[in-house]
Amino acid sequence: MQWAEPKLLIADDDRDFRESLAEVFRKRGFGTSLAADGKEALEIASQHASTFHLVLMDVHMPRLSGLDAVALLRAELESQVPCILMSANLDADIVRRASELQVASMLSKPFSLRSLRQVVDDILRSSYGWPL
């Protein structure tokens, strides 16, 4: 199955960071939706669950953490959309919970845009057969 463009949901409480990521991917032809925290990400996903191909989620956010948002995405929305968790503090508990939630990847901040693009491309390729 092919789409006109891959669609990403980017959730991070740092506005400049999430907007920068969105700009990077928009320049590559991706559609993007942005959320300021896990609760907003879950609200967007519930309205447009079948339209996202990948979710980029910060772990530490107000109102609802990235881990809790992914858990609710899996449980309440029954979504298996691939998720990438991002955090400056990836400790053993976060890694364990992320593994239980079957997240596609975890990135430790700071990371290079090149490495992020590669992880995104790899996940889209392995999950959807997308030739990027």
Average pLDDT of the segment spanning 19-29: 96
Q: For the whole model, what pTM was predicted?
A: 0.93
Q: What is the mean pLDDT of the chain?
A: 93
Domains of the chain: 7-120 (3.40.50.2300)
Task: Give residues with Cβ within 8 angstroms of 53, minimum separation 6.
Answer: 3, 6, 7, 8, 81, 82, 124, 127, 128, 130
pLDDT digits (tens, 9 = 90+) for 32-72: 999 999 999 999 999 876 789 999 999 999 999 999 999 99
Residue 49: per-residue pLDDT? 63
